[in-house]
Structures are given as structure tokens and as C-alpha cells.
Amino acid sequence: MKGKIATFVGKQTIEVMNPRPWLQNYPAYMTPEMTEPPFDSLAAMCEDACKKFADIPAFENMDKQISYAKFNTLATQFASFLQHDCQLKPGDRIAIQMPNILQFPVAMLGALKAGLILVNTNPLYTPREMQHQFKDSGAVAIVILANFAHNLEKILDQTSIKTVIVTEVGDLMGIKKLLVNFMVKKVKKMVPAYSLPNAISFSSALAKGKSKTFKPVARKKEDTAFLQYTGGTTGLSKGAELTHGNVLSNIWQVMPVLKNTARGPLEPGDVGVIPLPLYHIYALTLSFLGINTGMTGLLVTNPRDFAGFIKILKKPFQMIIGVNTLYNALLNHPDFGDINFSGIKSCSTGGMALQEVVFKRWLEKTGVTISEGYGLSETSPVLTYQIGGKERMGSIGLPIPSTEIQMMDDEGRVMPFGEAGELCARGPQVFKGYWQKDNSTVFHPGGWFKTGDIAVMDEDGYIRIVDRKKDMILVSGFNVYPNEIEGVVATHPKVLEVAAVGVKDPQCGEAVKIYVVKRDPSLTEEEVKDFCKENFTGYKRPKYIEFLKELPKTNVGKILRRALRVEEPVG
């Protein structure tokens, strides 16, 4: 069968035309299969990078830089403390709960050097959410920013955590340490009172580790590196078990794209702006990719302070990552013109759909396209990417090397090109499964991970996300996808942001409701209805419209549709 493969589902044989049609669109520098990572662990990769790029700044935060050599030294000291003073063993779980500050990558690499499994924790979690994650993961240690320690105090005795390391914002700021910590605690009063009698400071942990000799720990690609908890936007979060091999593979899969941007390769010493939190898989993996290429990761602690964020962006940078809402907010800030785009090579986005209006305005204002990638916590995260020079608006691009993607129905049958189905993926970046959970329904036979996203693949391999399976709205038997509604309504010149959800309706089962944030205060409900009438067929038109001052979002900036859904009938 030339150009075909046989796929067996139960007793049925299905012929699939050209199983990897995207390869025809690969540029010359990309190969169907990735180069095998030459390291067995992330710690080994980082050690190698720290030697090669010793004098280059590895990370910068609040105008303080640490070189790759210093980064490696501090991480080794922390690993020594965990190994000797805490008696932690390879495979033990350690939680990290802090925003983007210099201590995060130091603690992360130190834990990996000690052979531990990292449990990345949102610092804004409530005590209830913290308790669930720490109990579920079986974490025995935690590194936490003092600002959030009062929440840990409330639930510590209900977890297995025995080692508590508390850090303050300025701990790695050198001569500015005392001033920064004084300002945060005494002037801004950002550290609520807490009592953790057995806690040790991060500075003391480094000092203790420095006084002992660290014994290197060997880890293998199949060993678990992270329990990356899903965002929790659909219920109780689960820990995606990512191995060293998963993350290393994703770095090597993505590297060719970032080394061949339209404005030249990303090189040692280039600055990559990281406004998304490192506890999120997107920023986490990109930070490792940056380490491997010798980049300087510019950590943004509070990107929601857009005045402060834009002040940071006045200095030249070569790469920035973000989500649709972040780019949109920057575009609409009055000081957007102050951003220095003179050295920019790459802008990328993920986590949620990039709206066409944002894509076009960003290109118009900056001359640079935003390349959209797609992935999940469970896939380390990248599965597809918009390749420079081959971008297609409305698409999530092409599968990256060594990645197989098919659209399947609920029984695992492969859908033809152009027909919607659940996006299912195989590749070395796909996780083991959920930590201590029944994974029997997570994969189709053959190791195909069911992402929960509804998508369509064109005949040339480009993929379009239709929507999250669980977010689909069923109006009188017709499928309505919120992404489509949001993408169109967002083009209205008076609309700043919009979210679409399904609400119960006595006439049609479900109806479309949109929540709108105004760009122009004069916008009326009637204007929105008229606009929707022009752009949507009857069943897609929002039946209900509500104006909000802002939309609820996760810390990463993804709109929380779950928080907007109405359980009771409307009207």
C-alpha cells in the first residue's frame, strides 16, 4: 500500500493515508527524527552547560545576575545540604513553591543533582490546594518563599514534609539582600506572620552545604524528574510523571527551530525573557533549553505589573515567551512603544489559542511574528510548533521531530484529514502517566496519549485546534467551539478580551454565553449582538452577554472558563 499504513483497532483494519504528511513541510534543517540527547539526566546537561558558558550570565532577576559558574556552585551547595543535612535519597519528592526569582533555578538544579523528584507548586495556591498536592505527591521537603509560608503553616502537619527551607526575595541579591528583604517585609508588608519553628533559611542551607563534599548522583533517562501537576482548571489536579528523558527529548526536538529563527539563531549570551512562572511546564522546559544553549534567562517576578514589566523590556532582548493574554495586554498598554525590540529574534506562545487579532497587531507593531506552539504538561510540553517562514494563521503548526499525531474518535479509530477528532500523540516527550493513578483510560492501545483536545489535521500536516473536548458547547445538537466564538468577537474594535462558555438553556439544552471586557467604555450589548449576527450562523450566536471588568485567569494567564460557567438555567 504505497503511501498508506495499516492501523488495527480491535478487529478492524483502517488504512491511513500518509501517516506523517507534515514531513513534506519540514525545512532543510529539520529531520524526521530528533538527534538523541547526549546526556542521561537534566543535571548532567546543566553541568556541561555551566562549564561551557561559565562566564556568561545564566539568570537575571531585579537587575542581579548570576553567571553559569556561580549558578552551578550554588546548586551544588544546595544539593550537598539536601544530601547530607536532610538525608534525602534519590527519588524523594521535594516541592518548590516560589515565583520567578533567582533561588528557583538554583533550588531546582540542586534538587536534580541530588537525584530528587521536583514537585512544582503554584505559590498562590490556597492551603487546601497545597495540602492536596503535597499529600498526593508524598513530598518530604519544600523550598518556599516566606511570603507564602503562613499557608504552609496551616497544613504542614497534614503532610509528610519534614524539611522546610524558607527563602526571602533578596536572598541571592548580594549587597542588596538586606535592603530588598527589608522593603518586602517591613515597608510593603508582603510577608504575613508565620511560625515554622524547624524551618531553615535558604542562605543557611547553602552555607551548610558548602561545608560538606557533595557526592554526585547518577540518574537515568527513565527516572522521574518532575511531578508536574496539571493546572487544575477542570477539577482536582494530577501529577504528570515526567522523566529526565521526556524533558531532554523535548529540548532536542525544539532546538532546531530556535536555532533557525527568521532573524538568526539564538546564541550564548542572548537574553530570553521569561515572564511565565517557572513552575509551569512551558517556562520550565524553555529555561532548560536556554541553559543548554547558554542563554541568559531574564526572570520576571510579577508580569502583571505591566508598568514594571515594560520597564524591564526597555533593555534589548532576543527572545520572549508568553500567552495570548499577555501579548494582548502589552499591546494595549500605553507604554508599549517604550519596549526595545531592536534585537528580537523569537516570540513564542502556548497554553491557549493565539487570537488572529493579537497575531496581526503584534506583527504590525513589532515586525515580528508570534510563533504558536502546542502541548501539555503531560508532553513536556511541546508537540507541535509554527516553524519560521512556514507559519499558518489559525494553526498550531506541525508536529516536531520524533512526534506522531493522529486525530481519533472515542474508540481509537483514526479520523480522515479535515475531520475533527481527539488529538492523540506518541513520542519520547510523552509522560509515563499520572502519579499513583489508574492510567488505563489515559492512552489508546499502542501508547497514544489522549490529550482531550479536539483538532483537525489538513492533508499537508498542519493541525488546527477546534477546542478542548470538555469545553465544547452543544446547542440543539450542534457543536459550538468557544475558541471560534472568542476569536471572532475579539476582533471587534471595542472589545479587549472575551470568554465563551456554555450555559443551561430550557429551549436548546445549552446556549452560548460570552463575558466581555470592554476596550471602549461606550460598547453596548446591542453592538455586540449585531456584530455576532453578522459573523455567526444562528446556533453559534451568543444568547447571553455579560460585561466584566476583567476575566478570571490562572497565574499563567489562561482564561478560566470553569470559573465562568453557570450551573443553573439562564433566563
Is the pLDDT reported for residue 262 higher than 80?
no
Q: Which residues contact 231 (CB under 8 A, 6 or more apart)?
A: 237, 377, 554, 556, 558
Q: Place 387 in a pLDDT band, splitting at 50, 70 and 90.
A: confident
Instruction: Please tell me the predicted confidence (pLDDT) of residue 567.
Output: 52
Instruction: Please tell me the predicted confidence (pLDDT) of residue 9.
Output: 42
448-457 vs 239-243, strand pairing mode? unpaired
Is the pLDDT reported for residue 4 higher than 60?
no
In angstroms, the CA 91 to CA 225 distance is 9
Q: Which residues contact 507 (CB under 8 A, 6 or more apart)?
A: none
Only one residue has cell 527572545, namely 319
Say which residue, 460 or 258, is predicted with more confidence.
460
Q: What is the mean pLDDT of residues 194-212?
A: 97
Say which residue, 395 or 116, is predicted with more confidence.
116
The chain-wide mean pLDDT, for the chain, equals 91
In angstroms, the CA 254 to CA 544 distance is 42
Are the C-beta atoms of 438 and 423 separated by less than 8 Å?
no
Which residues does residue 510 pair with via DSSP β-bridges, in sequence order? 504
Is the pLDDT reported for residue 7 higher than 60?
no
Only one residue has cell 525545512, namely 27
Going from the N-terminus, what domains does the chain have, and what CATH number goes with each? 60-241 (3.40.50.980), 473-564 (3.30.300.30)
Q: What is the mean pLDDT of residues 418-443?
A: 95
In angstroms, the CA 384 to CA 463 distance is 8
Is the pLDDT reported for residue 113 higher than 80?
yes
Give the lowest-confidence range in 53-57, 105-109, 336-340, 391-395. 391-395
